[in-house]
Structure 1
Amino acid sequence: MKNTVLLRFSLALILLMHSVPSLLTGDVNGFGEYYLNSAGFAPLGIYLAWAVKLTHLFSAVFLALNKYLKIISCFNILIFIMGIILIHGSEGWYVVGGGRNGVEFNFLLIVCFLSLAFPDGFLIKKKNIL
């Protein structure tokens, strides 16, 4: 496997910053009520918010340990795709500059997790028959 230390630790830091502050301040419930319940997940929004934040927290640990990379990549990609659909997509592409709260950061995170889960890309390797 290719050296992924920089990518893994960068993603771990981002996921920690997406989870730990809101876990410590109690903002997880607000995230669930404001964003997820209003997106049609009521009354499950708070539970889904906790699932998202805990997934980010545990993913950061597994990234640091270099364990379960494909599994955590799949879970996080799903979370970021849902974030695009439910929250960021209506704001356009740009996070800052040409817009506000857009999809570009989620897109970058999805590509980073795809690169981590599939370091050789999606090509099927040909087996040498002879």
Structure 2
Amino acid sequence: MLNNTFLLRFAVSVILLVHSIPGMFNGGIIGFGAYLNKSGLAHLGVLLAWLIKLSHIGAAICLLANKWIRIAGGITIFILIMGIVMVHFKEGWYVVGGGRNGVEFNFLLIFVLLAIMFPQGISLRKKGG
């Protein structure tokens, strides 16, 4: 039986793989690295671009294997938040339609990852109280 958590893990894995693998072979990492360099990361841009793309592939593998979900999800959420801070926030909310390259897609991925990481939910109550 394919449960909802598997379906979400599969969907996010596909997104992470399709977002990462082509850039490794079509020069996208060089462009991404150059953007990161211009954003104030000195000459670490290409290295960081590779690390980000490789982390996405690692996270996709973890999600598909249902192993180390919280670690993979936490790293990916951190990268998505940094993407919001460095790129998407200044573009507004919408990815398409009312704008371009906005926050909404990263926002959705963050909360889907949280749902995957904590399938029983997150309690906001103090334990023992």
TM-score norm. by structure 1 comes to: 0.90
Give the distance between the partners of 2:67 and 2:111, measured in 1 at CA: 19
Match of 1:12 in 2: 13
Match of 1:55 in 2: 55
Give the distance between the partners of 1:45 and 1:61, measured in 2 at CA: 24
| Pairwise CA RMSD | 1.6
Residue 25 of structure 1: CA displacement? 1.5
The question of 1:77 aligning with 2:77 is answered yes
Residue 126 of structure 1: CA displacement? 5.6
SS at match of 2:102: coil
Residue 125 of structure 1: CA displacement? 8.1
SS at match of 1:64: helix
Deviant stretches of 4+, over 3 Å: 124-127
Q: How does 1:1-130 map to 2 (within 5 A)?
A: 3-34=4-35, 36-123=36-123, 124=125
Letter in 2 for 1:107: F
Give the distance between the partners of 1:10 and 1:125, measured in 2 at CA: 33
Residue 92 of structure 1: CA displacement? 0.1
Q: Which runs of 5+ in 2 are unaligned?
A: none
Give the distance between the partners of 1:118 and 1:106, measured in 2 at CA: 18
Letter in 2 for 1:74: G
Letter in 2 for 1:48: L
Residue 29 of structure 1: CA displacement? 1.7
| Residues 81/12 of structure 1: CA separation in 2 closer, same or farther (3 Å cut) | same
Give the distance between the partners of 1:20 and 1:5, measured in 2 at CA: 22
SS at match of 1:120: coil
